[in-house]
Every structure is written in structure tokens, then in C-alpha cells.
Structure 1
Amino acid sequence: MPMTVANIITIFRILTIPFFIATILYYTQETDYLRYVALGIFLFSSVSDAVDGYIARKHGQMTDIGAVLDPLADKLLLISAFICLYKVGVNFPVVRFPLWLIVAVLSRDIIVLGGILVIHILRGKVKMKTTFLGKATTFFQMICVLLMLLQWIISPLVWYITAFLSIISAVDYLRRGMTQLG
């Protein structure tokens, strides 16, 4: 595995996920500082996602392993965030994720990851490039997590947009995956 700066940043992002999970799972209203620790880890991970992509493109450090690890880091962080925040949501004083949002987000990721696995098994090589729709979906999912950690009262419209984008991007990935299978 080429150990480029971009890949090292991505691996570090993955290594922060257990700490993020722990801060969420140990959160109570009495330990509210953990919500801010989780927020810091999440912000660090989100910013370093942009940084590693920039470094990879700017300095010619784009690698096959980086193309796998970068979206994997995003998925691991977001799946962990949605599941953990839903689980501890009853402890949050103001805002809680609705179950249907969790189902939409997780269903998309299961469909995408399952599709990639099927294509890899049947064809050996997966050619799934990120799209604007996929990036918009990830952006809105990150916004949902950020707003939940901040406990800002938000319009349910953000949840509806996130669920809609999650479903539409899952359909798009399915369509593109079927094209690869022939």
C-alpha cells in the first residue's frame, strides 16, 4: 500500500472513529462535555476528509487504496454516527433523529456497499466514481450529524432532504452498478 500523506490522513480518520463512538455511547446529560468532544472529533474528521482529497489531487497522490479507504472512512463515520446518535438520542435534551431517517441513511449504505461487493465478486474490478449526488448526500448526512451534536433545533426539512438524497443516490448507484454488470 503506497503510504502517501493523503492515505495517512485517511487512515488516521478511520482510527478516530472508535473514539467518536465511545464519546457518544458514554454521553449522558451529566457528561455533556462528551458531546463536545464527539463534535470536535467529527469536525476534525470532516475537515480532514476535504484535506486528504485536496492533497491527493494537488500532489498527484491518488491511489487505488485511497480510492477505497476515503469513502470507507466516510461511511464508517456516518454509519457509526447515525446509529450511536439514534441509540443515545433519548438522552439528548432537544433534538432526536427520527427512525425513518436512520432507515433511509443505513439502507442507502447497505445497498451501495452490497452492490460494490456483488460487482467485485462478479467482475473483479469496481468502477464506482463519486458523483455530485453522492457528495451532496454525504454533505447533508454530515450536516444532520453536526446539528444533532450541536443540539440545534432545526427544521425537519433538513431530515427530509437528507432522506430524499440518500434514496435517490442509492437508486443512482444501483443504476450505475447494473450498467457495470451488463
Structure 2
Amino acid sequence: MNLANRITIARMIMVPIVMLFLLVRIPLFQVYTGGRIISGGELIAAFVFIIAASTDSLDGYIARKRKLITNFGKFMDPLADKLLVSTSLICLVALQKVPAWIAIIIIAREFAVTGLRAVASSEGEVIAASGLGKWKTALQMIALVEIMIGDFPFSYIGIPFDVITLYAAAIMTVISGIDYFMKNRHVLGAQS
């Protein structure tokens, strides 16, 4: 297993850590972020989430630079992102910080694209992440971090940046999902 793939696996290992710290209240400290009180667990979860999200660019960079691009990496890298984002969304819905309908849209798209990739894989084809998919992932991750940290520092100036990026992420999720299916409809047996 090459270094890029190990980094992808490390990102997957961080997913339950993010979940644990989001859902477990740590009473040792709380932080006031301009109108919101954030628990220590949420701050730790945000920190681990940022590290995990950062590894997404790192493993891709290493794979391209060292010519270590593999089918495993093409499949597992987007899956690791989906696990990180979906788990965080579900936890934030449970904490009533994300509307359930947005989580459903995002997670449903992730299942649909993963299903498309599985069908393509069964036909010997690998569907790599698209540019729109990468923008979607970036917006989702920015929104989730902002929600975890109480919209810091934007909450001090009254800009709901977390809400803006969450809605932008939901819109980009739908657009990129449509793009995947349009570009890969041949996989489903549709006429090109």
C-alpha cells in the first residue's frame, strides 16, 4: 500500500473520532463565539475534522507527484470524504445544528454517486472525482467546520457564513450529482 492510500485510510480512521467528540459533551471548557456557546468536544471535533479534511488534498498531491494513482485511491479517496461529511452531518442534525433536509440531500447524492461508481466498477471502469465534485466537497467541509466552531469569527460581525456555505454546499451537491450522472449515463445503459 502506497503513502497516498495510507493517508486516505488515516482519514477514514479519523471519522469515528470526529463523531465521538461531536456527540460527547466535554464539560471542562466551553467557548463563546459571538452569540453561541461551543463545547470543548465540538472544538476538538472541528480540529480533527480539519486535519482529516486537509489530508484529502495531501493524498491527492502525493499520488499525482509520485505517480502513485491507483484504482484503490480513485475509489477510496472520495469514499473517505463521503464518510467524513456524512457522519459529521448526521451528528450535527442530532445536535440540531443542521436541518435534516439538507443532510438528506447531501447524503442521498453521496449514495447515488457511490452506486454509480459501483456499477461502473463492475464494468471495469473507474469514475474519478470531478472538478465540481471537488468544489462540492470543499464547500461541505468549510460549512461543517464553521458550524462546529459556532461560525467563528463571522458571528462577531453578524454574517451567517456557516448558513451561507451550508446552502451553497447543498446547491453544489445537487449540481455535481446531476453532472456525474449526465457524464456517466452510459454506465447505466442509457443512450449517449
TM-score range, shorter chain: 0.7 to 0.9
Q: Which residue of 2 aligns with 1:142?
A: 141
8 A contact 1:38–1:149 mirrored in 2: yes
8 A contact 1:27–1:88 mirrored in 2: no
Aligned 1:2-151 pairs, distance under 5 A = 3-27=1-25, 32-89=39-96, 96-121=97-122, 123=123, 125-151=124-150
Give percent identity, aligned residues only.
31
8 A contact 2:23–2:41 mirrored in 1: no
Question: Which letter maps to 1:106?
Answer: I
User: Hey, which bits of structure 1, 4+ residues long, moved more than 4 A?
Assistant: 28-31
8 A contact 1:116–1:177 mirrored in 2: no
- Cα deviation for residue 29 of structure 1 reads 7.0
Unmatched runs of 5 consecutive residues or more in structure 2: 30-38
Question: Which letter maps to 2:167?
Answer: Y
Unmatched runs of 5 consecutive residues or more in structure 1: 90-95
Aligned 1:167-178 pairs, distance under 5 A = 167-178=174-185
Q: Deviations over 1:85-141 (max 9, x none)?
A: 11123xxxxxx21222112211211211122223334x2x23312221111110110
TM-score of the aligned structures, taking structure 2 as reference length: 0.82
Q: Deviations over 1:45-77 (max 9, x none)?
A: 011111111111111111121111111111110
Q: Which residue of 1 aligns with 2:36?
A: none
Q: Distance in 1 between matches of 2:100 and 2:171?
A: 14
TM-score of the aligned structures, taking structure 1 as reference length: 0.86
